[in-house]
């Protein structure tokens, strides 16, 4: 019973709170720079808007567990785009300590993309995350 609770409810919740909180925080900081258009001079405005607002919106959706897989994909794209913009092919030559945080965010987003929001979420409440067997048991 405890294993089931941890696997189906607690683990996705902890992952969502971690990734969602970080995305909201980073996105909010970027948005405070003239609506997300001036946080990184030299980067095209469209990319700045995509990354800042995408990160913020995805973070909110992940925190709530609303369309979590889609939001995790958006967080994955925004984090990957940021990392690629700053490093490009140089990423292959960076020491691992420089890549720890971005790689951790990418891995957590990837896990949520595969796992979904879990039962303690808006998606879980609607039954969007449930397998067909569990969904049939709810009816």
For 110-121, write each residue's pLDDT tens digit: 999 999 999 889
Residue 125 has pLDDT above 80, yes or no: yes
Mean of the per-residue pLDDT values of the chain: 87
46 CB-contact burial (10 Å; exposed 0-12 / middle 13-18 / buried 19+): exposed
Q: What is the mean pLDDT of residues 15-21?
A: 95
Residue 106 has pLDDT above 80, yes or no: yes
Name the token pair of 48: 């700045």
The reply to whether the predicted model has a pTM over 0.85 is: no
Contacts of 4 (CB under 8 A, 6+ apart): none
Q: What is d(CA 77, CA 53) in angstroms, rounded to the nearest whole number?
A: 12
């Amino acid at each position: 019973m405890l294993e089931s609770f941890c696997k189906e409810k607690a683990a996705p919740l902890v992952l969502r709170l971690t990734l969602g909180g970080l995305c909201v925080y980073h996105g909010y900081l970027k948005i405070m720079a003239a609506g997300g258009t001036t946080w990184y001079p030299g980067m095209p405005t469209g990319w700045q808007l995509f990354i800042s607002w995408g990160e913020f919106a995805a973070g909110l959706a992940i925190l709530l567990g609303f369309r979590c897989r889609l939001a995790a994909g958006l967080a994955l794209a925004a984090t990957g785009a940021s990392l690629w913009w700053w490093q490009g092919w140089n990423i292959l030559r960076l020491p691992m300590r420089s890549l720890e945080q971005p790689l951790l965010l990418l891995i957590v987003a990837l896990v949520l993309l595969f796992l979904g929001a879990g039962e303690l979420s808006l998606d879980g409440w609607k039954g969007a995350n449930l397998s067909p067997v569990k969904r049939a048991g709810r009816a």
